[in-house]
Structures are given as C-alpha cells and as structure tokens.
Structure 1
Amino acid sequence: MQMTFRWYGEGNDSITLKQIRQIPGIKGVVWALHDVPVGEVWPVERIEEVVKQAKEYELNTEVVESVNIHEDIKLGLPTRDHYIQTYKQTLKNLSQFGVKVVCYNFMPVFDWFRTDLFKEMEDGSTALFFDAQKVLALTPEQVVKNMEENQKDFTLPGWEPERLTDLQRLFDLYKDITEVDLLENLTYFLKEVCPVAEECGIKMAIHPDDPPFSIFGLPRIVKNKEDIGRLLRAVDSPANGLTFCSGSLGGNLANDLVDIVNSFADRIAFAHIRNVKHFEDGSFIESAHRVEDGSLPITGIINALHENGFDGYIRPDHGRHIWDEVCRPGYGLYDRALGAMYLQGAWDTNVLLKNGAAPKKTMQTV
C-alpha cells in the first residue's frame, strides 16, 4: 500500500509540498493540470514541471486525479472521437513520466455535489454537507439559477470552471439520456482507450458516483456493487479498474463497502478513504476518519484491503476544516493529515496481527 495526498499545484493550493512531505508515510502526491481545459491534450512540458516539483521533495507523481472526460463523450455525440483521441495522447504523455493510475469519473453535468461546503459541526469544525431534503426539493431550473447567482460558492474541487456557465444547456442535452445510454457511451470510451492505457502501463480507475444515486433526474451508472461488476465485465481489460471511494459509495448505507472491496479487490487500483455521518432523513456530513465519528466501517475496509493483498495507492479523502484553517472545501491540510495517520495505524495493526506479534527493535542512535 502506498499512502498519497492530493495536491492541487503551486499557486492553486494553500498546502505546500514541503508540508505534505512532513506527513509521515506519504509517498506521493495525487495531482492534475487543473487549468488545461477538458478535452485538450496535456502538454509534456507542463507534466514535467509538476513531476520535477514533487521529486524535489522525494514525492512520486504516479497517480493523476483527474483527466476529466468531455461531456461530448458522455453524451455519445459525433464529436466524441476527437476528444477520445486527445485523451489517448494525454495518456501517452503521462506515461513518459511514470504515471501508473488515472482516476476519472463519468458523472453527467456534475462531479461530486454538496449543498453546504462549510456546515458547522458540534465541535466547531466545519465540513461538506449533503442536505437530502433540499436536493429533493430543487428542480434543474432552480439548480441553474442558484449556481449562477453563487458561482464562487458552488465551485468544487474537480469541476472545470466552464461547467457552471453551461449548466442549462447540459441539462437539456441529458433529458433523453438513460442509464443504458450512458453505460454504452462509457463502454465505447473504454474500448477505445484501454488498449492505449495497457500499452502505457496505466490503469484507468473509475470513481463511483457521488452521491451514489440520481440527483436532478440525471443518470448515474457507478452507484453500487452491481453497477461496478457490470462495468468491469463490459470491458475485460487489466486497464479497466476501479477507484474505491468509501465516502462516495457510503453515501448510500445499502452499499456493503467491505463486500465491495472483497468482490473487486483485484481491480482496485486506487482507494479514497473517508467517513461520513448519516442522518435519518438521508442527509450526511463528512466526519473525521475514525469509525466512531461516522457511519462507515473504516477499519473493516482497511482490513479487507490488507487481507486481499492490496498494493495500490490510497489517500485520505475529504477532511473537515479544523483549527481555523482557511482552505479549499474538503481539502485542508490538518484533518487529512490526521486521516492519513489513522489509516496507516489501521494498516499497521493488520501487519502486526499477521506477523503474530510486534517486531522487536533494539535501541539505535542516529
């Protein structure tokens, strides 16, 4: 297992590589070229720039999150072949610098969605919050109006800036797109891209839908165990893999997260681990990583990954905003660093139990 940490780049992140390097156990950064418009080829010189920055702090850049997919591919428009070709070239460019995993999603219109970016918790910290009743009450037209009026508040990590200016058109385009249509379009994309990814030694690791159910009438196709199995069978390639995200799949408590890990362990290339606390009305808030603080079996997930010989990449996912930190919503330094340590502690416990006892160490000077 390699512990990593998401980083949004110099000038785009309040967190520095120097700070990330000081978190024990962190081996690499999960990164992207966020200013390159979706559908364009990532330039080699820009990729090399990030790789050099990370290497200066002895951090690898083997995981990219995300190379976003153009909506024309999701919609199955005639222009999709052009954007698939540019995607292939980006994979080739990334492979020159040792990238092993590309995390991506196939969520229409929205990436992950929350109603409140800084919901106050009982301890005074704030966190990302999903108000289920508020979402159920909103129509697509109201969503567009609200986001146009509050663009700054609704810009979430992973969203392309231009997405907010095009919402109504996208909603209109998806009116007649079913889940079957969306899955067919994803399968078409993967059949084109996976052979190139295989040649490049890259695993395409799809991220589950967040939340893992339809919102605003939009189709969702990576919601649960059945969806994941259907997708992995549709394109039976070693390059067609999964990003296991406990927080996304855990948005629906009907999902058995430990069973999902056990069922698809050989296809999980990347894992996002975070906890969420559920409420009776279907709402949820992103809590600290500890089992006691939320509703998800975090240590059970780590146990399952370890028992299945997981040797991929893992990162603490969305964190709370604590100790008065001013940061990108869900992506502060402090709580994610605490999460990284908690997850590594759970992993180390599995190692010790497997070995039967803690290894004896003699006193040493350095």
Structure 2
Amino acid sequence: MNMTFRWYGKGNDTVTLEQIKQIPNVKGIVWALHEKPVGEIWTKAEIKKEVSYIESYGFHAEVVESVNIHESIKLGNEQRDEYIENYKQTIRNLGEFNVKVICYNFMPVFDWIRTDLFHPLPDGSTALFYDKQKLDSIGPKELVELFSSASSMTLPGWEPEKLGRIQELFEAYKGIDEEQLWENLRYFLQEILPVCEECGIKMAIHPDDPPWSLFGLPRIMTGGASLKKLLAISNSPANGITFCTGSLGSNPENDMVALASKYINRSPFAHIRNVKIYDNGSFIETSHLTEDGSINISGVMKELAEQNYDGYVRPDHGRHIWDEDCRPGYGLYDRALGIMYLNGLWDAFNLKEMEE
C-alpha cells in the first residue's frame, strides 16, 4: 500500500506540505494543475515546477487527480478529436516526470454533488451532506447557486467556466443516453490507452458521485456491472479504476467488500472513506471508522491486505473538526486521523497473516 494525500497546491490549500510530512507513512502527494482550464495541454514547464516542489519535501508525485475531461469528449461532438489530442500530449508530458496514475471521471456537466458542505454531525463536527429530498426539489441552476455561495474556495470538478454554461450544456446532452455516453468513453479510451502504455501511465476512472442519474443526465460508473463493462472496453494494463468506497458505497446495493475482492487488482488507485446512509436515501460523510458509517472499511482494508495491494491509497473526504477553517472535505486533521486508522488496519491484517 502506497499511502498518499491529496493537495491543491501552494497558495491554493489551507494544508501545507510541511504539515503533511508529519503524518506517518505518507509517501506521495496527489496533485493537479488546478488553475489550468479543462482541455488545455499541461506544459512540461508547469509540470516540472509543481513536481519539483512536491519532491523537495521528500514526497513522490506519481498520482495526478485529475486531468479533467472536456465536455466535448463526453458529448462526442466535432471538437472531441482536438481535445483528445491535447489530452494525449498532456499524458506524454506527465510521463516525462514519472507520473504513474491519472485519475479522471466521465460525469456529464456536474462532478460530485452535495447539498450542504458543512452539515453538523452529533459530535459537533461538520461534513459534506447529500439531502435527497432537497436535491429532488431543486433544479440544476439552484444547485449551482447553492455551491457558488457555500464556500469561498474553489471546488474541484466545478470549473467556473463550465458553470456559466449550464443551460447550454443541458441542451447538448438531450441527445445523449447512457449507451451513447458509454460509446464516447470507449472512443476516448481507445484513442489514449496506447499513449498511456508508451508512457507507463495507468488511467483510473473515478465512479460517479453519487452513483445514480441526476437531473436526467446519464451516469454510467455506478456499480459492479459498470466496472465490469469498463474493463471489457480494453484489456490494456493502462485501463483501470479508482476504487472509491465513498462514491460507490453511497448506494447500499454496492457491497464494497465484495467489489474490493473482485476489482482491487484492477485499481491502481483507491479512495477510502466512510458514509452514513439514511433510510430516505440521504447520506453524510463520517469519520473513516467503520462503526461510524454504513461501509465496512475494515473489511475493505482486509481485502487489500490479503491481496497484498501495492497501489496508491489516500484517505478521502474528511470531517471539519477542531474548528479547522479549510476547504470543504479536505482539511488536515480528520484526513490525518483517517490515515492512521487505515495504517492500523493494514498493519493488523498483515500481522495476522504473518502469524498464520
């Protein structure tokens, strides 16, 4: 297990590399060029600057999250080939700086969706919350307004240039159903995977968050059947999954231990976090502790240990605790606690195997 920590860059994150360095067993930083407009080529100079800074603290910079996919590629329109060529060049440039994994998603228009970024928990902390009843009663414009006013910090996957085109994008997706979106994903992967193989980079698709359709938009990475279908597109070693327990696990029909058993060996990257699911379909993010949520985090880590997982792992969203003023879901304290819990489970399960 190669433990990592997601970081949004110098001057763009409340957490510093100096602080992350004090968390035991963190080997790498998960990074991106967050200010770069979607679809533009990441230049070697830009990549070198960020990687050099990360490496100066003793971390590797082998995982990028994310090189976002331009909507033209998801829509499969006449501009997609131009943006795919840009993506290929970004892959080549990243490969020159020892990047091994690119996390990406294929969610139309919206990335991850919540209705409250600082919802109170019984212990006095706050966390990201998905209120199903509230979301069912509003439209996409209201959701954009909600997100725009909820945080003073930029939110990953919610690019400002895209949010100003919501109506236009919804019109464009009227002719795109799930099968067409799958076909557009297949086209994209068949174009870029040979380049990935040349550069020694693995693509790791992130599940939809939450894993069901919203506002009539198609969503296709939602559970075991979709993971199987994704891998059937190509048997290339560069075609992989970001195994996210919180995204897939927010649907109680997804057994995360069973999915880990089957798919962790095709997942070069794993996001481990917990959520508590309510009877009405709402859910809130909790501490990583198994007992605090609805996902068997201990069972997932047992599967990773038994399969001697050597991919990259990071704690995912954390609560906001101890009065920390931070980016929603991405503070220092609770993610550090999460790492120590995951480290403890890993050590315990590996020790048990050694004793047996």
RMSD, aligned CA = 1.2
SS at match of 2:141: helix
**Partners in 1 of 2:292 and 2:146 — Cα distance?**
34
Match of 1:97 in 2: 97
Match of 2:260 in 1: 261
SS at match of 1:26: coil
**Partners in 1 of 2:146 and 2:340 — Cα distance?**
39
CA contact (8 A) 1:101 1:202 kept: yes
Alpha-carbon deviation of 1:90? 0.3
CA contact (8 A) 2:275 2:295 kept: yes
Q: Do structure 1's residue 114 and structure 2's residue 111 form an aligned pair?
A: no
Which has the higher mean CA deviation after the structures are superposed, 167-176 or 208-217? 167-176
Matches within 5 A, 1:29-44: 29-44=29-44
**Partners in 2 of 1:235 and 1:266 — Cα distance?**
15
Residue by residue, what CA displacement relative to the aligned partner does 1:192-223 show, whole Å, maximum 9, x if unpaired? 00000010000000000000011111101100
Displacement over 3 Å in runs of 4+: none
Q: Which amino acid aligns with 2:40?
A: E
Match of 1:62 in 2: 62
Alpha-carbon deviation of 1:301? 0.4
Q: Which amino acid aligns with 2:70?
A: H
Matches within 5 A, 1:320-359: 320-356=319-355
Matches within 5 A, 1:354-365: 354-356=353-355
Alpha-carbon deviation of 1:343? 0.4
Alpha-carbon deviation of 1:308? 1.6
**Gapped regions of structure 1 (runs ≥ 5):** 358-366
Q: TM-score, normalised by structure 2?
A: 0.97
**Partners in 1 of 2:194 and 2:315 — Cα distance?**
30
Residue by residue, what CA displacement relative to the aligned partner does 1:235-267 show, whole Å, maximum 9, x if unpaired? 221100000000000110100111111112221
Match of 1:134 in 2: 134
Q: Which amino acid aligns with 2:122?
A: E
Q: Do structure 1's residue 271 and structure 2's residue 266 form an aligned pair?
A: no
* Distance change in 2, residues 1:149/1:307 (3 Å): closer
Residue by residue, what CA displacement relative to the aligned partner does 1:124-147 show, whole Å, maximum 9, x if unpaired? 110000001111222xxx321452
* Distance change in 2, residues 1:150/1:259 (3 Å): closer
Q: Which amino acid aligns with 2:216?
A: G
**Partners in 1 of 2:73 and 2:250 — Cα distance?**
26
Match of 2:83 in 1: 83
Match of 1:225 in 2: 224
SS at match of 2:284: strand
Match of 1:147 in 2: 144
SS at match of 2:27: strand
CA contact (8 A) 1:151 1:164 kept: no
**Partners in 1 of 2:155 and 2:57 — Cα distance?**
27
**Partners in 2 of 1:236 and 1:152 — Cα distance?**
43
**Partners in 1 of 2:166 and 2:110 — Cα distance?**
9
Match of 2:247 in 1: 248
**Partners in 2 of 1:169 and 1:163 — Cα distance?**
10
